[in-house]
Structure 1
């Protein structure tokens, strides 16, 4: 016959502690997502700086170059100005498919409403939630990265075109 104290001990054992590895992985996934959000904000700031630099170059050098009429370098500089403007619009366009947070309704449906109250150990439930959310963040980061890459390429191309515009305005001023 089992010892009564050992039977009671089995029922009063504490719930399994949450797995700290899952909490760490989830925290790192959130950190990666926040980093991506900062990259997007940085690219938007750089696009704003590019607008200022382009306006400054075009007004300062373009005003001087256009005093003598329109030549081939002037037309090239104006075309480059238009292309830079187009790239800035691409960079600043509101991308609604960037994902940096969870939908609270989905979280409730996936992790709270599906389980009858008290049927699962809370630490195990947190482990399941951390795992599922870390994998969801991974998917969101991959989707965000495609947009971030387009923004980065647009910025790099616009900066290169700004240098060409600067050169075109200078050549227009000296009338080569």
Structure 2
């Protein structure tokens, strides 16, 4: 699981103890990190659901498909097989390694931008800039999550249609 900035309480305090830091910025930064953590949990949850979909599809097709195919391939059998391949394609789409998520910052970039630069940045300015960056990262992640969610929904509908097609193939025996 990727680590998120600010999940350790020691990261939320300014080691220099700058007196001019605004506690509201620290709160906003922590809320941004919490939102990003929630988004990461959504992605992990969708991967778990895709795994459950694999099991449900395999179970339904092995149980119903064996019975339906005992007398050969009919129209409903072909439809069920086509739906099975469509579900498989959607599952592959959902689980394919995709590295366009942004759930953490590059430490080298942070050091260069906020510590090693011409003039070091205050903790408040850093939290403000990072909160805005998290917002942009969440928007980018959300586009990917929406596509995965749509693929999951379509795959679930296809699974129901697949089961229905197998049942109709069995009933036609």
TM over 0.5: yes
Per the alignment, residue 163 of structure 1 pairs with: 160
Structure 1 regions of 5+ residues with no counterpart?
1-13
Runs of 4+ aligned structure 1 residues displaced above 4 Å come to none
Per the alignment, residue 110 of structure 1 pairs with: 113
Per the alignment, residue 146 of structure 2 pairs with: 149
For the pair 1:129 / 2:119, whether they are aligned, the reply is no
In the alignment of these two chains, the number of paired residues is 157
Give how far 1:94 is off. Answer: 1.1
> Which among 14, 30, 45 is matched to residue 48 of structure 2?
45
**Alpha-carbon distance in structure 1 between the residues aligned to 2:172 and 2:91:** 29
CA deviations on 1:149-172 (whole Å, 9 max, x unpaired) are 000000000000000000000000
Per the alignment, residue 62 of structure 1 pairs with: 65
Larger Rg belongs to: 1
RMSD: 1.4
Give runs of aligned pairs for residues 63-82 of structure 1, distance below 5 A.
63-82=66-85
**Alpha-carbon distance in structure 1 between the residues aligned to 2:61 and 2:118:** 62
**Alpha-carbon distance in structure 1 between the residues aligned to 2:97 and 2:140:** 15
Structure 2 regions of 5+ residues with no counterpart?
1-16
**Alpha-carbon distance in structure 2 between the residues aligned to 1:75 and 1:158:** 18
Per the alignment, residue 24 of structure 1 pairs with: 27
Q: 1:15 to 1:155 in 2, by over 3 A?
A: closer
Per the alignment, residue 3 of structure 2 pairs with: none
Give how far 1:15 is off. Answer: 5.2
